[in-house]
Amino acid sequence: MPDAHDALGSFRLDGRVAIVTGASSGLGARFAGVLHGAGATVVLAARRGERLDALAGELAGAMPVACDVSRHADRERLVATTLERHGRVDVLVNNAGVGTPVPAEQETVERFGEVVDVNLTAAFGLAQAAGRSMLEQGRGSIVNVASILGMVGSQIPFASYAASKGGLIALTRELTAQWARRGVRVNALAPGWFKTEMTAEMFADGRSMAWVARMAPMGRPGAPHELDGAVLFLASDASSYVTGQVIAVDGGWTAV
């Protein structure tokens, strides 16, 4: 039987190379720090290059790559640059996402398409580009950052966001079915209510916070550090027999 030291060691990412998208702020920056702390060489990707440079200054050895994940050429360049610099990709955290609440009857088809393009199509494109390298090396872990809104409905008018995250969960399962026997694991992390740039207005509104407290069995939103363990678990060998799963970190929201 493995001892405690062996079990803890499975969470380490020494020698691994991890790409984190949407890394310029919020949860993406946090995820990058967590993986770096576990020993990974982290590639930081987002549109705001100056923020990436600042984060790279805090994470020794991290490489910032400014890119727009909605652009095919930028996605390919991100993976190619990583392979050129580090020779491998072991972990991909598909975290970049957009969304603006608007009633479904008012949301334009164009805006719906833009949200799906960033949250779903770009995630597939990056999984494909990084996945090719992972398949060649016979191992890798892809973590798709979905949302509880891809699992259940809500009273928030977020049709495009919910559809894109639901699609991301389905994509996670399909890629698992295709790649599991070839050594590549694909899982989804589904956060509940956490404070990010996207949810900042909600967190500043007393009624909204009262609603979250009433609806979540734990009676509160999540704190950023409460996603650390889940993302590290899915990225590392601690989850070596876990694939095709959706881990909801939501204070019990989807349980009731």
Active-site residue list = 161
C-alpha to C-alpha distances, 89 to 97, 201, 206, 209, 252, nearest whole angstrom:
21, 36, 43, 39, 33
User: What SS3 state is found at 44?
Assistant: strand
Strands 184-191 and 140-145: parallel
User: What SS3 state is found at 65?
Assistant: strand
The number of C-alpha atoms within 13 Å of 20 and in the hemisphere containing its C-beta is 29
Let me know: does 69 contact 118? Beta carbons within 8 Å.
yes
Q: Write the CB contacts of 134 (distance below 8 Å, at least 6 apart in sequence).
A: 89, 90, 140, 142, 179, 183, 184
d(CA 15, CA 26): 25
